[in-house]
Amino acid sequence: MQTTISLAQVSTHAGQLDLNLHKTEKYIQQAKCEGASIVLFPEMWLTGFSIDSLKAHASLHRQALETLCHLAKNHHIAVCGSFPKVHEGGAISNSSLFINALGHVVSCYDKIHLFSPSWDESLMKAGDALVTLELPWGLCGFAICYDLRFPELFRSYALMGAKAMILTAAFPLAKLDPWITLIKARAIENQLYMICVNRVGYECYKAGPVLLGGNSMMVSPRGEILCLGSSDEEELLTHTIDLTLVNTVRNELQVFKDRKPHVYKLDEAMEHV
């Protein structure tokens, strides 16, 4: 089963929700013109990470989500990206929302691994569950940025039957080598597609401004980079993937069958970390 996906590698204008939404609509239109069935946006692309701003404009974020649903329905294309979700009591999570082509939110993954206390994200509400979504081209899992450094998460998705992972990120340019290496590793070791979109430009955290690294990419189950963005330019990357390749690769090298979970004893090993 083939599907065409667009990665919208964009920068974020801090505190300018309307401007970010206007840019989003442009990329949704372009992705539709290029034949994509899904367009993916990066981590917190509409708002940035300012907790004070997120809380002050919580109602606007709900309106923004309504706008995204309208755009998805109007252009008949699925839209996915990391978004601030407001919970009862006012807590905010960093959530990857998947809006289908009918304009309905059909999946929501709350980021499990929040970054260090020196970043605003440490004040957010962490997720505690993996989320999968059955799409016409196969089962898909979700992860956000820092999650990339936790191989257990991706292996768990693979064991659940996921054939592709959608990863939205605001990954620093200074960590470009880990970004590329870890994405390829997750694809190879789990024999699935890694579909990863990263922001460009600056994010202003409490600890100071950080230059984000772009290099959005799609990687095959064999670890081949199928498309790759620049380090600093806003752009749309569109590529068609074939999910039948996942079964082919998994039949060629049956790593899941050859696993020895009883030997690894991960829980016991953690006692020594």
pLDDT bin (cut points 50, 70, 90) of residue 268 is: low
Output the pLDDT for position 122.
67
Residues annotated catalytic, as ranges: 43, 111, 145
Given a cut of 70, is residue 229 above it in pLDDT? yes
Query: What's residue 264's pLDDT?
Result: 86
List pLDDT tens digits, range 147-170.
999 999 999 999 999 999 999 999
141 SS3 class: strand
Between the alpha carbon of residue 256 and those of residues 158, 245, 261, the distances in Å are 9, 16, 10
Contacts with 90 (C-beta within 8 Å, 6 or more apart), sequence order: 55, 58
Largest CA-CA distance found in the chain, in angstroms, rounded? 54
* Mean pLDDT within 202-217: 90
What is the structure's pLDDT at 10? 98
Residue 111 contacts by C-beta under 8 Å, 6 or more apart in sequence? Answer: 82, 93, 94, 95, 96, 124, 126, 127, 144, 145, 146, 147
Thinking of the domain 2-272, which architecture would CATH place it in?
4-Layer Sandwich (3.60)
pLDDT at 265 over 90: no
Greater confidence (51 vs 178) lies with 178
* Contact predicate 232/198, CB 8 Å: no
Mean pLDDT (the chain) is 92
* pLDDT, tens digit, 9 for 90 and up, residues 35-70: 999 999 999 999 888 766 777 666 677 889 999 999
pTM of the complete model: 0.95
Percent helix / strand / coil, the chain, rounded to 5: 35, 30, 35
Query: 176 pLDDT exceeds 80?
Result: yes
Residue 165 confidence (pLDDT): 98
18 residue type, one letter: D
Predicted confidence (pLDDT) per residue in 91-110, tens digit: 888 999 999 999 999 999 99
Beta 164-169 vs 193-198: how paired, if at all? parallel
